[in-house]
Amino acid sequence: MRDKFWTWVMIVLVGIVMTGAVISAWRFLRVDDAAARALGIGTLLLVAIGVWFLYHAIAFGFRTERLGRILQAEDALPEDTVERSPGGRPNREQADAQFQRYKAEVEAAPEDWRSWYRLAVAYDVAGDRSRARKSMSRAIAMERSTR
């Protein structure tokens, strides 16, 4: 719950910054100078790109959470049995063992979005955020195609 709070705080702060950028862009667009107008257009483009990325990040979070609730209702969430150091770092050997377990699960059932979800969690615990995100994206896409 605490992580959600800080996530929403950051979203609000990004929204404030984007609003300020749009206001500045609007002011640049109203000036009778080609360079100022170009700066205003560029700023609006950057804000549009930022809004696009923000939307996709929020949607990814909601979809991930939705799949987690489904697995929780099925009592099929992956167990996090990896010990952590006082600083929060996972025990590397335990994380690797957990990863191998979920990797084998995906290899045995590559069409099951649930196994991909659990593999994504294992990647995350192992510290491989890029592969965790790719695996979770695959789980989301697979689950959406079964609806």
The secondary structure of 80-122 as a DSSP string is: ----B-TTSPBPHHHHHHHHHHHHHHHHH-TT-HHHHHHHHHH
Please tell me the predicted confidence (pLDDT) of residue 94. 87
As its CATH architecture, domain 92-145 has Alpha Horseshoe (1.25)
Hey, where are the domains in the chain? 2-73, 92-145
Tokens of 10: 């950051």
Please tell me the predicted confidence (pLDDT) of residue 128. 86
Please tell me the predicted confidence (pLDDT) of residue 88. 79
Please tell me the predicted confidence (pLDDT) of residue 93. 86
How many angstroms separate the CA atoms of 121 and 12, rounded? 27
pLDDT per position in the chain (147 positions), as tens?
788 899 999 999 999 999 999 999 999 999 999 999 999 999 999 999 999 999 999 999 999 999 999 999 999 988 878 888 888 788 888 888 888 899 999 999 999 999 999 999 999 988 889 999 999 999 999 999 987
